[in-house]
Each structure stands twice: as C-alpha cells, then as structure tokens.
Amino acid sequence: MAMGTILLANAAISTIQERKAEKVVETLNQFQPPLCKAIRTGQLVELNAAELVPGDIVCLEAGDRVPADIRLIHASNMRVNEATLTGESLPVDKSESALLEECALSERSNMLFMGTDVCGGKGRGVVVQTGMNTEMGHLMSLLKHQEKEVTPLQEKVSSISKKFMKGALIVGGLVFVMGTLRGIPIPQMITTSITLAASAIPEGLPVTITIALSAGIYRMAKKNALIRKLSSLETLGRTTVICTDKTGTLTKNEMTVKAISTADRRWTVTGNGYEPTGVLHEVGPEVAATALELEDTDRYEQHVANPDLNRLLQICLLCNNSELEQQEGQWTTKGDPTEGALLALAAKNGLWLKDMTHWHRGHEIPFDSKTAKMSVVCKDVQNEQECYLFSKGAVETILRHCSRYQKNGDLFPLYEDQKQFILQQSEQYSADALRVLAFAYRPFDESEGGDSIDDERELIYVGLAGMMDPPKPEVEQSIQEAFALGIKPVMITGDHPITAIAIGKQLGINSDAHSVVTGHELDRLSDEELIRMVDQVSIFARVTPEHKLRIVTALQQCGQIVAMTGDGVNDTPAIKQANVGIAMGRTGTEVTKETADMVLTQDDFGTIVEGVKEGRTIIGNIRKALGCLLTGNLAEILVTSVAVMVGLPIPLVPIQILLMNLLTDALPAMVLAVNGGEKTKQPKRTDFVDKALYQKVITRGVLLGLGSLGLFGASLAVGAPVPVAQSVAFATLVAGQLMQAFSWRQEGTEETVRDWTKDRFLLGALCVSWLALLGALYIPPLAGFFHTARLPMHYWIPILGVAGSVSLLAKPVLNLIAKKQAHNASPASGTYAAAV
Ligand code: ATP
C-alpha cells in the first residue's frame, strides 16, 4: 500500500511536469498566426487569416501562404506550390481565366487553396471558403492525430535507460539469488530485489529532458526566438556553422541612397534613413564639385533640365511597390526597404509618388532574388500616351539586358568597354559597403504584353544608385562570441561580393579573397569540388536560393551541423535541408516561417548565438541531471548488493528506496535540468554522455555507496539495532545525493556559492528533500511508514562527513584517472581531463 502510494505519486509528478512542459511549447507555437493582406473598406490591411470571411478580397505574392480558398480575379505570373494538397511537387501556373468545365482540384487554375504556397508572381482574389470548409480543412478533418515527436536526445536517453534497466535487472537477480542462498526469507528478497531494480532505472529521465527543453524554449521566447520543435534546441547546441544572410540579419535593413551616377555625372547624397531631406552634391573628374542645393519647388524644374537624373528618379518612383510614411514624426517605409530608399531619394529631389498619378501601371515582372531585378510597364495617360518598361536591379543583370545607354538625354550604343566602366563604377560603390542598383528602361509597345522576362530586353541604361545599409552595432560582438564558441559564421548573400566583403570586414567575418565565392563560381564547381573547399569559405555572394541548398548540403557532407537563415519562399528548400532552419520573423514570408525550426522575431543574428548557448546549456543540464541520477542509483545498488554479498543484513528497506527515488533523485535532477545556466560555458559536445561522465558517475557513486555501507556496517559493529543502522545508511545516501546536486550543478560553470543560493528552485527542491528526510526520521507516523528509527544527534557527524566528502574525494581520484589517460597520450582523454 505504502509502496503503491509512492509509485503513484512519482508517476503523477512526472506526468504533470511533462504536460506542463508540453503546454509551454504548444502555447509558444501559437504565437505565430498566419497573416495575410486583404482589402477592407478600400484600404489594404494586414489581417490574421482567421479573421477572413467569404467575400473578402485578398492580395497575394510570392512567399505568402494562401489563407483561405480563393477565386482569382487577377493574376500576374502567378505560380503556386500545391504539394501539400495535391502531392504535385512542381509549382502550377494560376490565372484568373474562367474554366469551361468541371475539373479535378489540381486542374482548377483560377483557384487558390488554403495552405498552399505562392512561389512566384502576384495575384488578387475573392475568398470563397475559410477554415474547416476549405479543401485543406476537409483533408485535415480526415487526419486523426499526429505522432508525438521524440527528440534524438530523448532517444539517446531512452537507450541509456534501457541499458541501465538491463543492468539493474541482472543486479536485482543476483541480489535475490545471493540473499536467498544466505537464508533471507524469499518474500523479503523478492521485494528488495524488485525495488532495487526499479530504483536503478532512471525512468524519470525522458520527462526531465522534455522539461529541460521546454524550459529552454521558454527562455528563448523571451530572447525573441520561437523554437517550433523540441529537438531544434538541442541541435542548435551542437551547431558548428551558422549560415546567415546579410541584409536584415547582419545589417539593419535600413537603406539610404548615398551615391548616384548617370553616364557622365556622379552625385553624393546627404541625409539619413528614410527622411526625405537631404541634398545632392555633384562630384567627378569631369565636373567640379557643385552642390545642387535647391529649394523644393525649384528642384523638379532643375532635374527636367538634367534628363538622365530625371529618368533615374522617375524609375525609382514608378518601378516601386513601397510607400514612405511618417509615424510619430519618424519617416519609415512600408514595403521593401531597398525601394523605400529610392522613394526617399526621389523625395529629396522634390519628387513624390503623388506627382506621378498620370502614370498608369500595367504589367509587372516582380522582383525575384533569383533574377535580381524587377520591371513594370507604365503608361503616361496625360502626355502623348508614352508607354515604357522600367527596370531596376543588380548591376550585372541589368547591363546584360541593355543595348544602349542614355547620356544627357541622347541614346548611344552600349559596348563592352562602357559596360566594364559602369561595372567598375559599381565596384567602387560596393567597396564602400554600398548596395548597388542599376536603372534602365525602354519604350514599350502595349501589344508586347510586359509580363514575361523576355520583355526585359534591348534596355537603355540610365544610371546607378548606391545605398548604405549599416551593420547592426551588436552583431560584431555576436560574431566574436560565435567564434569563441567554436562556431563559424558564414555570410550568404544575394548582394555583390565586394559589398559583402566590405560588410564582412566591418563585422569581423573572415573576408580575404580566398574565403569569398560567388554564385557564378559555385555554378562551375562540381559537388565534390564544393565539398572539398566549402569549409574554407566565409562569404558566398551573388547567390540564389538554389545555391543555398547546395552550400548547406556540402557543409553537412563535411560533417558540419548547419543552422541556416532565410526569408524568401525560395529559401525554404535550404531551410528544410539545414539541421536548424531559421526564418526571419519580420521580413520572412509566411511559408518560410512555417517551414523553419526557429523564427527570429527581431531578425537578430545574436539570437542565433544565444540559441546555440541555450542548446548547449540544455545538453549540459541534461548531462548533469543524468549524472546526478545515475550516481544516486549506482550508490543504492552498491549498498544493497555488496551488503548481501558480504553477509550483512539488508541495509535499505524497499519503501526507503522508493522515497529516495521520488525526492532525492528526481527533484534535484529536475531542478538541474531547468537551470538557465547564465554562467555556464558549455563546451561543444557531439555526444552528451561520454567516458568523462561515466567516470564521474562511477567514482562518486562508488564513494557514496561504499561510504554509506561503511557507516551501516560500523553502526552494526558498535551494537546499533538493524533499523538504526538502516536509517544511517538511508540518511547517508540521501544527504550524499543532495550534496551531489551542488557538485553536478557546479560542473563546467563559473558559479559561486552566491549564485546558487539565488536559485530558489534548487533551494526549494533541496529544502523539500531535507525536510522529507528529517520527517521520515523524526516524525513518528512517517517514521513508522518508512520503517526508520530516530537517529541520535551524534550520528549526524559521520553521516554528514561521509556525504560531504564524496565530491571532495572524487576530485583527486578523477584527476588521477585524467593524468593516467593523458599519460597514455590519448587526445580524447586530454579533452576529458580539461572538462573535468
Ligand atoms: P541577403 O540575401 O543577404 O538578404 P540581398 O538582400 O542583397 O542579400 P537580394 O534581396 O536577393 O539579396 O538582392 C540581390 C540584389 O538584387 C541586390 O544586390 C540588388 O542589386 C537587387 N535588388 C534588391 N532588391 C531589389 C528590388 N526591390 N528591386 C530590384 N532589384 C533589387
């Protein structure tokens, strides 16, 4: 009855703790409701998908997850991945055209279905079904339940538990046989050996791990990272390479145009952020520096007189999907920061979007990081019905499609040497860490269409704009921290290699010529060649999302554990492939966020480094909890089995063993598992259970076991009755275990006594355990329940002496082992010695 109560209490505590931990993770994962853009009362608003109702008009673009079942009313180059619904892995084209007959789901080209992903183009449509009434909803209702995730750490621990279980059963069997042979009554031997075997099994460990991971996930949420899977945090702890994009993660993603040039003139631009105030200073060898410092009203007229600059600013405004807005006196951009910077540039010259209402936008070829450009067809409905295709994008890409250039309003053929001159100009900007865009256009015949990249041809080059995106101030330190943790940061960017190198230098990322590889160079490398050199590269520039997948795979094949950031929908394959896929919470698309293992709510590189530290802390915590549990279990087994072997009475009553399991093992271990570990410098570990851990467990377990057995024997020798001697053994084991908790907690940390006295959980757990021990010994009904005897005060001197000296004695023993191993010159043991 008593034993049943204890076992039930143990199971109940484990279940409650595990459920609580799972709840934390579930709640955190609910923080990310999918968002969508809808038109309500004529305004474009951002809504939670759950707020949509049939009849709403929704606008979608590449990277959006479709929030409901939608009938398209307009689509431009729209491609949708419907694999989740139809199993078709290739994206399908969508258009608004009516279908003439009833067809299968996969052929309904004018419909978008909830849960599918827009992977290209743009579109608008009317919501026809929401929630469980959608096609995806029907499918979901057929899926009954999801399997519970088992993390690799949990798997590993269950396998250790199983090994211990086998060992415990063997020892239990041996104790039973020996005890029976010695004539101890069989029923007593049955309960003793079963309890002994049961107590040696660290059955609480999987729960401890869930609790440790959930506590870590909770702590990470406070540091602006949502971890979607328990296993991701432990993988982060083992990460060796962090692949990060540049814009927005390493840099502020606050663009300001600092320099512009046309065919024969150059300007520097003053002003900060998106503030539309600043001036152009003309520079260059041909023209002496003059300042175009004009009154707002004069500017427009002045630039009409400078047709190249005027055209460039016109493209800045018209080939643009963003808006400038003022919030609490601060100018910000709604939309792409790159485009926001171009609007601010135009505004500094007195040009605003509202001055361009006579230009009507036709087709758009949206920006895609793969093509690195964007084009729009615009028609001037006021003046002579002029129609143009305006393009902007990465310099090399735009130049590839240009056949002429504009100089002072006249057009000239664009030959190779002029292209080289423009590229050099762009590289000069890049060397100053500026992100460079080129601008081009051509007169357009409306009958040409304008929605296909084939239309981006025969363009007329106009000029360049170089914009500053300063590195985030705190990133440099995070990069140093990553290096200190033994992690290599790798920058993967769509930007120009020279810009990437300049930013890399500012941040302390290795950026010598050998460590930078471009997308073009990657294309020329075979997979084998890439694998051979990928470890030496610190910057990949002008890469497309496809390259990212190759880079991650190559790094993994070199044995690296890779964390990888991404924002666009095209990054999803690489994010999926990475050991830890990380999405940007602010700039990331819904699809990327849903695929990722971790979402950075503030798009902060430092949070990834924090995640690695957290992961390592957790692995370290679990190691400590395991060590603490196993030490106690080993001591318990030793005390009983050796006593039976040497002919002593049985030193522990079964109910006492169960009490130890419930309080003195489980409680401190759980507290060790949730420790935040602020002062912990956990090393990089591929395996958290190693020889070093077992050596510690064995040394401490044997010392504690033999110590309490020694006191048990000594008590009997001085004539103490068996229940008193049993209580001495019980008290020594419990006190020893509680003191062990401190030694395990201290392992690998720089904590002082003051630090752990601030840990109210640890102190609480220890208080409960001590009170339980004292209660079991000194409160008569409890003493009866636990079969203990009241211990006279002077017994506590040897008990506390033995309990307290275990860790002290273990140190020289472990040092001796380490020295011996170092002597045998095994490199692995050297590491162990350092760890000890
Ligand atoms: P990262 O991958 O680090 O975020 P990135 O933001 O520079 O780098 P992309 O957004 O793929 O990478 O941009 C690649 C290039 O495309 C830029 O260097 C720029 O020249 C050009 N570009 C960026 N945004 C636009 C845009 N809105 N319109 C046209 N071209 C753009």
DSSP string, 494-553: SS-HHHHHHHHHHHT---SGGGEEEHHHHHHS-HHHHHHHGGG--EEES--HHHHHHHHH
CB neighbours of residue 561 within 10 Å: 19
In this prediction, residue 692 carries a pLDDT of 82
Question: For position 340, what pLDDT does the model report?
Answer: 93
**pLDDT of amino acid 243:** 94
Quick check: is 445 catalytic?
no
DSSP letter at 179 equals H
What is the distance in A from the centroid of ligand 1 to the CA of 512?
23
Distance CA 802, CA 710 (A): 9
Q: Which one is catalytic: 245, 308, 469, 665?
A: 245
471 lines ligand 1 (CB under 6 A): no
Write out residues in the chain with pLDDT < 50, as ranges. Answer: 31, 144-147, 286-304, 827-836
Determine whether the shortest distance from the Cβ of 392 to ligand 1 is under 6 A.
yes
Please tell me the distance from the alpha carbon of residue 313 to that of residue 463, in angstroms, as a whole number.
10
Answer yes or no: are the C-beta atoms of 741 and 673 closer than 8 Å.
no
Q: What's the pLDDT at 31?
A: 45
Question: What's the 206 CA to ligand 1 centre distance in angstroms?
Answer: 46
- How many CB atoms are located within 10 Å of the residue 48 CB? 11
Dihedral, CA atoms, 546, 551, 554, 560, nearest 10 degrees? -140
By three-state DSSP, how is residue 465 classified? Answer: strand
- Say if ligand 1 is within 6 A of residue 322 CB: no
Establish whether residue 609 lines the binding site of ligand 1, counting it when its CB lies within 6 angstroms of any ligand atom. Answer: no
Coil vs helix vs strand at 266:
strand
- Distances in Å between the Cα of 426 and the Cα atoms of 122, 250, 342, 419, 420 are 31, 22, 17, 10, 10
List 599's β-bridge partners, or say none: 226, 583
Task: Say if ligand 1 is within 6 A of residue 251 CB.
Answer: no
- What pLDDT is attached to residue 221? 86
Contact 192, 179 (CB under 8 A): yes
Contact predicate 205/626, CB 8 Å: yes
Closest CA to 708 of 623, 617, 637: 637
Ligand 1, atom 20: closest residue by C-alpha: 394
